Amino acid sequence: MIDDTTWRIAKENFPIGIRVCGAVKEKRPFGFFLDIPEAPGTVAVVDAISYLPHGSPVPPEEWPAPGDSIEAKVVAHAEHNRQIKLRVEPRESSAQE
């Protein structure tokens, strides 16, 4: 678990609602961990039910592989285990149709 100072700084630098980019570090049955370069030592996790690249959850075999870069939104700060909780959602199109 990270120390008090690192956790405080992580919450300040990554407030709820901000989008972050990182690389998948490790896949687990419940989701996967993301390595955020600007937050060394901070644990960031995308739970299985929060990986919604097409608007609904996808099976683990469709999750990104370790090393893949993704963008996610900070949705919570889990105080009990000092993790940044992330969600991946479909990107809004900026093009006018």
pLDDT grade for 94, boundaries at 50, 70 and 90: very low
pLDDT grade for 41, boundaries at 50, 70 and 90: confident
71 pLDDT above the threshold of 80? yes
Neighbours of 45 (CB within 10 A): 20
38 pLDDT above the threshold of 60? yes
74 in a structural domain: yes
For residue 76, give the DSSP letter. E
95 in a structural domain: no
CATH number, domain of 18, equals 2.40.50.140
16 pLDDT above the threshold of 60? yes
What is the reported pTM? Answer: 0.89
Query: What is the helix, strand, coil percentage profile of the chain, to 5?
Result: 15, 40, 45
44 in a structural domain: yes
Segments forming the whole domain that contains residue 80? 4-88
- The structural domain count of the chain equals 1
Q: Residue count of the chain, please give it.
A: 97
80 pLDDT above the threshold of 70? yes
